[in-house]
């Protein structure tokens, strides 16, 4: 009976779940909605794609290690969450920016593979995108829109 229970316990721990998510687009909204004069970045986008990856190991869902990123990229989801997928995506994004010698990525696509074994989990994120460099800044003014009386008033521009 002990052998049966031990075999069942080992099988339950050894058999995990593997999840693969593709085309999980990043938060790459380059031009935000403007309601008054604002300063926007001028961005030069290269035409060759770059790819990078990162991997995170996690125990009990909150003890995480193994990222190869040397800094924090600020273009992905909530960086202060405990989720290992967010940390893996952030590491892959930072590694891609380092590899492409760029400031940010445009048109990002993520491939996230998660192996979950109840107490231990491993997440691998791979990002592909176009490197973009900030070349300067520009002042953006909303267009003039005429109201019913013919007066020019500023409105929100997209």
26-67: pLDDT as tens digits: 545 555 444 456 777 888 999 999 999 999 999 887 788 888
16 band by pLDDT with thresholds 50, 70 and 90 = low
For the segment 103-147, what is each residue's pLDDT rounded down to a tens digit? Answer: 888 888 999 999 988 889 999 999 999 999 989 888 877 666 666
pLDDT tens-digit profile of 68-109?
877 776 655 555 555 788 888 888 999 999 999 988 888 889
Give helix then strand counts, H and E, for the chain. Answer: 2, 8
DSSP 50-89: EEEEEEEEEETTTEEE----SS--SSSS-TTS--HHHHHH
């Amino acid at each position: 009976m002990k052998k049966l229970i031990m075999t069942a316990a080992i099988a339950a721990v050894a058999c995990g779940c593997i999840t693969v998510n593709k085309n999980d687009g990043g938060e790459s909204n380059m031009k935000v909605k403007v309601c008054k004069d604002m300063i926007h970045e001028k961005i030069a986008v290269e035409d060759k794609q770059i790819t990078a990856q990162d991997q995170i190991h996690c125990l009990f869902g909150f003890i995480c290690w193994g990222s190869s990123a040397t800094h924090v990229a600020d273009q992905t989801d909530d960086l202060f969450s405990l989720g290992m997928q967010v940390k893996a995506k952030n590491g892959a994004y930072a590694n891609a920016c380092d590899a492409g010698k760029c400031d940010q990525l445009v048109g990002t696509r993520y491939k996230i593979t998660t192996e979950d074994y109840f107490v231990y989990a491993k997440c691998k994120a791979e990002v592909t995108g176009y490197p973009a460099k900030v070349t300067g800044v520009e002042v953006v003014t909303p267009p003039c829109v005429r109201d019913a009386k013919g007066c020019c008033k500023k409105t929100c521009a997209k």
